[in-house]
A and B are shown apart, each in its own frame.
Chain A
Amino acid sequence: MSDAAAPAPAPAKVSLAAPSAWRRATRSGGLVVGLLLVIGMILVAAFAPQVAPYDPDAQDVLLNLVGPTADHWFGTDAFGRDVLSRVIWGARISLFVGFVATMAGVVFGTVVGVISGYYGGKVDKAITAATDVLLSFPQLIMGLMLVAVLGPNLQNLILAIAITAVPAFVRVARGSTLAMKERDFVDACRALGYGDLRIMFLHVLPNIMDEVVVMASLWLATAIRTEATLSFIGLGVPPPTATWGGIVREGFDNLLDGWWLSVFPSLAILLVMIALNLIGDGLRDATDPRAPQ
């Protein structure tokens, strides 16, 4: 069997290797732009104390409702607080809530989804039924109900948003797990005597992460939007803590006196939505084998 000793055909003159997922993803540029934007925003939020020109809560009654100037790029609000500083500090809360809530939803939803898909039968039926019930509520209404019941504070806000994210990830993970179960390697693992936990989390999970990550990036946008919406209607983090939704809300009260109050925080929200959707689309194209080369 000397023949078989030959290693896999080594690309000699020309590389025949399919372009890596990363190369495919970055070819369109959307993913790169989105990532740069999001990373930039995270950095700004993280270094808010250094970056923000003023204390976001410092009031200056003499300088209230001043439009954008060289000193106050985004203007000041009714209490004379610097809007730019508030938007920067608000990014901390808004991004934090979005990331933590999404992560929690992803982890819990994916684990439940993998279990549901892997075991099938009664477990699957019960989980699917529960998921369907949760999905039948519009996601915003559900967040609203949960916060209303639990009470508006940071923890509960995160919990509520995480719970709204769970059913979507249960679905994605379950569907992908079912597709993986069709592949013989799952049976091969069982025949080799591997435990169910090992198969689910060391073999199935890594193979479905592509779909989960794409979904997560899109859900991050939804989570941030939900936080903003809940804050806007007064069910978010209580004032005076700056969050994007809260700043828009405050500006909304004085909208006729100063357009900048709501417009700049809204733009921040818009920008992060666009960036996250660029990332999601880029990742999807990169991981979808049917995507045009």
Chain B
Amino acid sequence: MSAAPITAASEALQVEGLTTSIRIAGHWFDAVRDVSFTVRQRETLALVGESGCGKSLTALSIMGLLPGAVGRVSKGRIVVDGVDMTAATEAKREAMRGDRIGMIFQEPMTSLNPVLPIGFQIAEGLMQHRGMSKDAARKRAVQLMELVRIPSAADRLDAYPHQFSGGMRQRVMIAMALACSPRVLIADEPTTALDVTIQAQVLALLADLQKQEGLAVLLITHNLGVVASVADRVMVMYGGDVVESAPMRAFFQAPTHPYSEALLAAMPRVDRASKLAPIPGQVPTLPDMPAGCRYQSRCPLRIAKCAERPPLTPLGGDPEHGVRCWVRAGA
């Protein structure tokens, strides 16, 4: 499989001012607020945060997979490989999904159909999007299974999901997502359900595939250790806001938003004895979110100005490193 030609623009995924609202008890609340980013080819952008921070909703918004009755994109533009997904018809979006943009999920068991052989599930996308014949699609399925390093791929084409271990199932999911050589891969907690040694293998596989295929990867995770292993850039989300955005190394050298700092200080480390500093309190529910900075209810640096929403401000000397904090941005 040859690397995709780099003829198109290197920005594979562009998100501008994305605001996603969800309905709770009959009212709409902004669960993702004004999120903007680009993911270039061969780049991994990690979206980090705890449950309810809006990272998965961002992914679903990009895929156009929000459950209509309770979620909607209320503002913003999403451009995948030059196509404006927000303006596209549902038919166009469907054609993009699985073809130009692939997605893998946390739970590889429930994401696979238990009664269909995995070879068929991989080939299905090829037949639908590429109009391949059954034989050609099967051949390609074997190649894909080899690509994701499933041992004795040809023999296991007709095996069923339950005959695979968790790690192997996630490989199948990756093979399915990559079947049509997409430009963008969204990986939503792809290794969270896996044991650590298997997690390491899957992360290594994703990193290799990204190089080979020139993929733009949006990695959604709660695990800062995973971020440190594979990401090029990091965006930390809290309460639907991007609170910090930085190149990966810069982030770990100098985490700047009080929430980023607190998150790192709350994580026990395997390499040395560490003192834990828990973040007080809990994430407010959406209806209870404070106006202005959403982290203020738990923030030790809170000042009066936090009642106003701070902008994502570039830090001095590094236009790539932005932080949404009045105190830390020195305003």
Contacts and interface: CB of A to CB of B under 8 A. Distances in A.
Contacts of A12: 287-288
B24 A6 contact: no
B281 A14 contact: no
B285 A9 contact: yes
Chain A interface helix/strand/loop/mixed? loop
A14 B24 contact: yes
B276 to A, nearest CB: 12
Nearest to B25: A14
A9 B27 CA distance: 18
Given A14-B24, A14-B25, A3 B287 contact: no
Contacts of B282: 3, 6, 9
A135 B281 CA distance: 55
Contact of A13 (B280, B281, B287): B287
B263 to A, nearest CB: 15
Contacts of A16: 24-25, 285, 287
Contacts of B285: 9, 16
Instruction: Please tell me the size bucket of the interface on A.
Output: 10 to 19
B104 to A, nearest CB: 26
A15 B280 contact: no
B268 interface: no
Interface string B249-283: 00000000000000000000000000000111110
A2 B26 CA distance: 33
B82 interface: no
Interface string B280-295: 1110110110000000
A11 interface: yes
A3 B280 contact: yes
Interface in A1-44: 2-3, 6, 9, 11-16
Nearest to A19: B25
Nearest to B283: A9
A12 B278 CA distance: 26
Interface string B1-39: 000000000000000000000001111000000000000
Contacts, number: 26
Contacts of A9: 282, 284-285, 288
A197 B12 CA distance: 63
Nearest to B297: A6
Instruction: Please tell me the size bucket of the interface on B.
Output: 10 to 19
B25 A15 contact: yes
A16 B278 CA distance: 27
B280 A11 contact: no
B110 to A, nearest CB: 15
B278 A11 contact: no
Contact of A6 (B26, B281, B287): B281
B296 to A, nearest CB: 15
Nearest to A18: B25
Interface string A46-67: 0000000000000000000000
A127 to B, nearest CB: 31
A11 B287 CA distance: 8
B295 to A, nearest CB: 14
A225 to B, nearest CB: 38
Contacts of B284: 9
Given A9-B285, A9-B288, A14 B27 contact: yes
A116 to B, nearest CB: 29
A14 B22 CA distance: 14
Nearest to B26: A14
Contacts of A13: 287
Contacts of B26: 14
Nearest to B27: A14
Contacts of A11: 287
Contacts of A2: 280
A128 B42 CA distance: 60
B280 A14 contact: no
Nearest to B284: A9
A14 B27 CA distance: 8
Interface centre among A2, A14, A15, by most chain B C-beta atoms within 10 angstroms, is A14
Contact of A14 (B278, B279, B287): B287
Given A9-B284, A9-B285, A3 B24 contact: no
Nearest to A8: B282
Given A14-B24, A16-B24, A16-B25, A3 B288 contact: no
Nearest to B24: A16
A201 B25 CA distance: 36
A15 B279 CA distance: 27
Contacts of B280: 2-3
B179 to A, nearest CB: 32
A3 B278 contact: yes
A11 B278 CA distance: 25
A63 B152 CA distance: 90
Contacts of B24: 14, 16
18 contacts: A2-B280, A3-B279, A3-B280, A3-B281, A3-B282, A6-B281, A6-B282, A9-B282, A9-B285, A9-B288, A11-B287, A12-B287, A12-B288, A14-B287, A15-B25, A16-B25, A16-B285, A16-B287
Interface of A: 2-3, 6, 9, 11-16
Q: Give the 9 A-B CB pairs with smallest separation, nearest first.
A: A3-B280, A3-B281, A14-B287, A14-B25, A9-B285, A12-B288, A14-B27, A13-B287, A16-B25
